[in-house]
Amino acid sequence: MKQVLSLFLIIFLTGCVSKMKPIDFKDQKPRLIIEEYLSGNVKAWGVLQNRSGKVTRQFKADLNGKWNGSQLILDEVFNWNDGEKQTRQWSINKIDNHHYEGTASDVVGKAKGFSYGPAFKFEYVLLVPIKGKNIKITFDDWIFMQDEKVAINRAIMSKFGIKVAELTVMFVKD
User: CATH code at 162?
Assistant: 2.40.128.20
Q: Is residue 6 part of a domain?
A: no
Q: Is residue 4 part of a domain?
A: no
Residue 56: Cβ within 10 Å count: 11
- In the structure, how many helices (H) and strands (E) does the chain have? 2, 10
Domain that holds residue 165: 20-173
Q: What is the pTM of this model?
A: 0.86
- Number of domains the chain is built from: 1
Q: What is the pLDDT of residue 1?
A: 55
Peptide bond into 118 cis (omega under 30): no
Segments of the chain scoring below 70 in pLDDT: 1-18
How does pLDDT run across 138-152, given as a tens digit for each residue?
999 999 999 999 999
